[in-house]
Structure 1
Amino acid sequence: MQAIKDLKKVLIITYYWPPAGGPGVQRWLKFAKYLPSFGYQPVIYTPENANYPILDKQLIDEVSEHCIIVKTPIREPYRLANLLGAKKAKTMSSGIIKLSRKQNFAEKLMLWIRGNFFIPDARVGWVKPSVNFLVNYVQKHNIDTVITTGPPHSMHLIGMKLQELCNLHWIADFRDPWTTIGYHKELKLTAFAIKKHLELERTVLNKADQIIVTSKTTKSDFQKITQKPIKVITNGYDVEYVGKVELDDAFTISHIGSFLSNRNPRVFWKALAELRKENKAFKAAFQLKLVGRVSNEILDAIREFDLDSCTINVGYVDHKQALIEQRKAQVLLLIEIDSEETRAIIPGKLFEYMAAERPILAIGPEQADFFEIIKETNTGKVALYDQKEEIKEILLNFFKSYQEGTLKVYGMGLQYYSRKKLTESLAKLLETKNV
C-alpha cells in the first residue's frame, strides 16, 4: 500500500457509520477499509449525534486507521417522536412502525408528517449546514471527488450542491432504490410529495457524474430516467475470523437480522407446521432460531401455526455474534417481501450467508435479483410465496442430508463478492472519472 501522504483523498458522505449497527453501515465501512490498498484515502463525513435505531459499538474497532473522520451536528425530527414514548421513537426511526400493519392515530400522524414535510427524508435538515461546512473543507484539503450514499437520499442533495459550488466529481451510490422501494407507498404521501420525490430522483440521477447501484433491476429502472453511466457493485462479505464454530446439534433453521411485518412468510410457517405433523423425526430435531429484531406480527404468526414451542427468539446481537450464529445454523433463512417492487432488493446478509457455507433457503418475489445470485453460486435453494410443496421438498432434502451428516454447500465464484474485490471495482470507477 502507498504511504498515507501519497493517497488521493475521496470524500464519502454517509449517514450510517459506527457506532451505528445494522446493514446500512457495512457497505461503506468495508469500502473504507480497503480503499487505501488501491490508492485512496477515505474522508468520511457523517453526523456526530445521529439518532441511530441500532447501535453496535464493536464496529468502531473495524474503522480503518487510514480513514479521516469528519463530523458535524445533525438535528433530526425523530426526536420529536419521543412524544409517543422512547420505544415508539426508536422503532419509527428504524422503520418498524412504518412497515407495521397496526398503527394508532399518533403513529399515523407522525408518519404522515415525516412523509410530507421532510422530503426526501427526515435528514433533509442536515443538507444546508453540511454544504456550508464542506465547501470550505474540500477547498482547504484539495478534494476533487465526492461520493454520497443513500438512503437516506438527503445525502445525495449534499453531493449535488457540492458538485455545483466546488466543481467536484460526484458519484451517487444507491444502496436501495428511491421512489420504487417497497416502503415508499407506506409513507402516506400527498400528490405534491410524490411529485417532489420523483423530481428530486430525476435531478440527482441526471446531475451525478456516475451512479452506483447494488442490483441489475435498479440499474435497468434508472436507465429509464438517465443516460449517465451506471455501475452495479453489489454488497459483499468480508473475510472475518470468528474462531472455531460448532454446528447446532438440532436441525436449526436460522433467520439472522431484522424480521419485519411484511416479510411474514405464512407459506413457510404452514410448510413447517405440516412437516412437524407428518414427520416425527423432523419434529423431534427441528428448531427455528430468530436472531435480530422481530416484529410482533411475525411472532403472532409463529404462535398461530403452533411453532412457538420450537422457536428461540435470540434478539439483537452485535455483528460478530451474528456471524457466529450464521456458521452455527444448519440452514439459513432469507426472506424478502413478496412484491414486484422488491425484485431489486438484494439483502446485505445474503453475502455473509454465502460466506458462512451453510445452505440457504430463500423465499421472495418472482424474478428476484438475489435468486439469480444464489443459483449462480450454488449456495442454496429458492422458492416463491405460493410454493408450499416446493418449500417442503427443499426442507426434507436438507433434513435428509442433516441426518446423514452431509448437509453443506459448495459455493462457486464467491471470491467475486468479497469486500476487497468489490472495492477494486470501486477504485477502477474512481480512476475513470478523468477519462
Structure 2
Amino acid sequence: MKKVLIISYYWPPAGGPGVQRWLKFVKYLPDYGIEPIVYIPENPTYPLLDDSLVNEVNEKVTILKHKITEPYNWASAFSKSSTKKISSGIIPNKKKQSLMQRLMLWVRGNLFIPDARVLWVKPSISYLTDYIQKNNIDTVITTGPPHSLHLIGLGLKKQLNIKWFADFRDPWTTIGYHKELKLSKSAAKKHKELEREVLTTANQIIVTSPTTKKEFEAITDKPVTVITNGYDVEKIEKQPLDEKFTLAHIGSFLSERNPTLLWQAISELINENQDFKKSFQLKFIGAVSQEVLSTITGFELDSYVDNLGYISHTEALVQQRKSQVLLLVEIDSPDTRCIIPGKLFEYMAAERPILAIGPKGADFSTIITTTNTGVFATYTEKEKIKETLLNYFKQYQQGNLKTNAIGLQHYSRKNLTGQLATLLNN
C-alpha cells in the first residue's frame, strides 16, 4: 500500500465540523490502496469535544502524536470564556468587545502568524523529518485551518522534497474573521507572503469550493482541485418527525450570521396565521451567540425557541432527521461566497427540506438548486423566505413535507475519497 502522512490539528475527540473531513477520508483511503498515517497534537486545546467520534477511528490507522504549546492555555488564565469563543471562531461584535477581547484578538492576529498553533511548526518539522525518512514516505498532506499546519508541509517540502498536498478547508487571508484580527500592515503583509509561499510551493492544492479555486488560481500556477465536503452513510434508524413545525439550525450560530429578515418573516407569519402560530418551533443545536438570541427576543419569539445546546455528532444527525425543515445560514459578505458549510451535505442526506440564507452568488446555492434539496434566498429576499416557510408549512399540514433529491451520491464521503485517491496516485 502507498503510505501517505496526513497532518491535522483536529482529530477525535475534537468536535465540530473541522474534524469530519479528514476523519472520513482516513476511513475510506485504505479501500483505494492507500495507507493513511495521521499526525496530530498530543495535548491540543479543542473548543468542542465529541467523544462519540473516537469510535469512528479505524484501530488499524497509525496515529502519531507530538506535544504542542498552546497560547490559548495561557490566555484562558485571564478569560476562559473569551478564549474558548475566539479559539472556536466566535468573534464578538466590534461594538460589544471588551478590552480583554480586543487585546486577545490583536495578540492572535499580530504575534501568532498565521495562527495560535504556529509554535507547533518547528518541533513538528524536526520530528516528522526523521519519521518520514525512516518509513519511506513520499507524500504528505496538510489540512488547515489552522494554516500553521501548511508551514509544517512547507518545511518538510524544503528539507526532503517530498510530494506535498495542501488542503484548505477554508480560505486563508479572505476568510471572514481575518479582518477582525486587528492586523497591523506588517502582519497583514506577512500573512499574504506566507499564503503565497504555500500556494506556490505545494505540488497540489485542494479546496472545498469553486470560488476558492478561482481565488487561488490567481495566485499560483500549481494545480487547484475542488473536493467538497460530503456526507457519510450513517447507521441512524428512521426517526419519527417532530410533531411541531420545527425549523432547526445545527451548529454554531455566529453573531454575523444573524438573519434579521428571517426573524421578521417568522414574526409576521405568527401574527398572520393562527395555525402557524400554534405549530411553529425554532430549534437550535449548538452554540448560539447572545446577539442572535437578543434579536430573537426583540421579535418576541422567545417562547418558540427550543435551545438544545451542543450535543454529540450522532445526536445531531438524529435531530436533523426529526426536524421538519433545516435552516442553513451563512454570513452576508462577498468573502463568504466560497464557504460551503459541511453540514449542508448532512442536511441533504437527512432528506429534510432546507431553507438556506446567504450572500448573492454563494457556491452552496448552486448545490442546493442542482440537488433539489431546498430553497436558497439572499439577505434581501424576505418575501421569498416567508413564501418558502408558508409553502413548507402547508405541506407539513397535509403530511407530505419531504424532498426529492437528485444526484446526492456525488457527495458521499466514499466517492469524494475516490477523487482524493486519484490525485494521490497520479
Do they superpose with TM above 0.5? yes
Task: Give how far 1:85 is off.
Answer: 3.0
| One-letter amino acid of the counterpart of residue 249, structure 1 | E
Checking the alignment, whether the CA contact within 8 Å between 1:173 and 1:211 is kept in structure 2 is: yes
Q: Distance in 1 between matches of 2:101 and 2:286?
A: 23
> Are the aligned partners of 1:357 and 1:411 in contact in 2 as well (CA < 8 Å)?
yes
Whether the 8 Å contact between 1:99 and 1:183 is mirrored in structure 2 is no
Equivalence for 2:344: 350
Deviates more, 1:400-409 or 1:88-97: 88-97
Unaligned runs of 5+ in 2: none
C-alpha displacement at 1:89, in angstroms?
Answer: 2.2
Structure-to-structure mapping, 1:278-289, within 5 angstroms:
278-289=272-283
- Report if aligned partners of 1:259, 1:293 keep a CA contact under 8 Å in 2: yes
- Work out which of the residue numbers 380, 403, 406 in structure 2 matches 1:412: 406
Distance 2:95 2:232 in 1: 35
Range with greater deviation from structure 2 (100-109 or 410-419): 100-109
Does the CA-based 8 Å contact 2:92-2:255 persist in structure 1? no
Q: Match of 2:76, SS?
A: helix
- Partner Cα separation in structure 1 for residue 392 and residue 380 of structure 2: 20
2:111 to 86, 109, 117: 117
CA distance in structure 2 between the partners assigned to 1:97 and 1:79 by the alignment:
18
TM superposition shift of 1:100: 6.5
Partner of 1:370: 364
One-letter amino acid of the structure 2 residue matched with residue 413 of structure 1: G
How big is the alpha-carbon RMSD for the aligned residues of Structure 1 and Structure 2? 0.9
Q: Once the 2 structures are TM-superposed, how far is the Cα of residue 181 of structure 1 from its aligned partner?
A: 0.7
SS in 2 for 1:83: coil
Distance in 1 of aligned mates of 2:187 and 2:92: 17
Distance 1:109 1:100 in 2: 12
2:11 alignment partner, one of 17, 36, 39: 17
- Alignment counterpart, residue 153 of structure 1, candidates 120, 136, 147: 147
Q: Distance in 2 between matches of 1:389 and 1:62?
A: 43
Residue 297 of structure 1 corresponds to which residue in structure 2? Answer: 291
Mapped pair 1:51 → 2:51: no
**1:371-401, Cα deviation, whole Å (9 max, x unpaired):** 0000000000010111111111001110010
Report the equivalent of 1:133: 127
Task: Indicate the residue corresponding to 1:421 in structure 2.
Answer: 415
Alignment of 1:140-179 (within 5 A): 140-179=134-173
Task: Provide the rounded CA distance (Å) in 2 between the counterparts of 1:340 and 1:97.
Answer: 18
The secondary structure found in structure 2 opposite 1:421 is: helix
Give the letter for the 1:254 counterpart. A
Look up the match of 1:259: 253
- Cα displacement string for residues 125-172 of structure 1 (whole angstroms, at most 9, x for unaligned residues): 100000000000001111000000000000000001111111210000
Which residue pairs with 1:75 in the alignment? 69
Query: Are 1:42 and 1:66, in contact at CA under 8 Å, matched by a contact in 2?
Result: no
2:306 alignment partner in structure 1? 312
Partner of 1:91: 85
Q: Give the aligned residue type for 1:422.
A: L
Query: Deviation of residue 101 (structure 1)?
Result: 5.0
- Partner AA of 2:113 in structure 1: I
* Contact 1:237 1:351 (C-alpha < 8 Å) held by counterparts: yes
Shift of 1:98: 5.1
8 Å CA contact 1:149–1:156 kept in 2: the answer is yes
SS class of match (1:427): helix
Contact 2:358/2:378 (8 A) holds in 1: yes
1:88 positional shift: 2.4
Q: CA deviation at 1:189?
A: 0.3
CA-to-aligned-CA distance 1:42-71 (integer Å, 9 cap, x gap) = 100000110000000110110122311000
Q: Secondary structure at the match of 2:340?
A: coil
By how many angstroms is 1:25 displaced? 0.2
Instruction: Quote the Cα distance in structure 2 between the aligned partners of 1:179 and 1:311.
Output: 36
Secondary structure of the equivalent of 2:231? Answer: coil
In the alignment, the residues of structure 1 paired with residue 334 and residue 26 of structure 2 have an alpha-carbon distance, to the nearest angstrom, of: 33
Q: Tell me the amino acid that sits aligned with residue 356 of structure 1.
A: A
Measured after TM superposition, the shift of residue 194 of structure 1 is: 0.6
Change (3 A) 1:358 1:366: same
CA–CA distance in structure 1, aligned partners of residues 6 and 342 of structure 2 = 20
What CA distance in whole angstroms lies between the structure 1 residues aligned with 2:283 and 2:313?
16
Whole-angstrom distance in 1 between the partners of 2:98 and 2:78: 10
Tell me the matched-pair count: 426
CA offsets per residue over residues 224-267 of structure 1, 9 Å max, x none? 00010011000000000122311000000000011010000000
Alpha-carbon separation, structure 2, partners of 1:102 and 1:329: 33
Corresponding residue for residue 4 of structure 1: none
Provide the secondary structure at the position in 2 that maps to 1:84: coil
Aligned partners of 1:269 and 1:305 also within 8 Å: yes
Match of 2:380 in 1: 386
1:275 is aligned to 269
* Preserved CA contact (<8 Å) 2:12 2:51: yes
Whether the 8 Å CA contact 2:91–2:177 is kept in 1: the answer is: no
Partner AA of 1:421 in structure 2: N
Name the aligned partner's letter for residue 311 of structure 1: V
User: What is the CA deviation profile of residues 87-123 of structure 1, one whole-angstrom value per residue up to 9, with x for unaligned ones?
Assistant: 2222221122356652100110111011000000000
* Structure-1 separation of matches of 2:366 and 2:173: 24
Task: Output the amino acid matched with 2:255.
Answer: S
Q: Which whole-Å CA distance do the structure 2 matches of 1:100 and 1:240 have between them?
A: 40
Q: Which amino acid aligns with 1:122?
A: A
TM-superposed deviation, 1:81: 1.4
Deviation at 1:328, TM superposition (A): 0.4
Given candidates 154, 174, 183, the residue that maps to 2:177 is 183
Check conservation: 1:98, 1:187, Cα contact below 8 A.
Answer: no
Q: Is the 8 A contact 2:256 2:331 kept in 1?
A: yes
2:373 corresponds to which letter in structure 1?
T
Task: Output the amino acid matched with 1:221.
Answer: E
Amino acid at match of 1:347: P
Q: TM-score under structure 2 normalisation?
A: 0.99
SS at match of 2:284: strand
Are 1:236 and 2:230 counterparts? Answer: yes
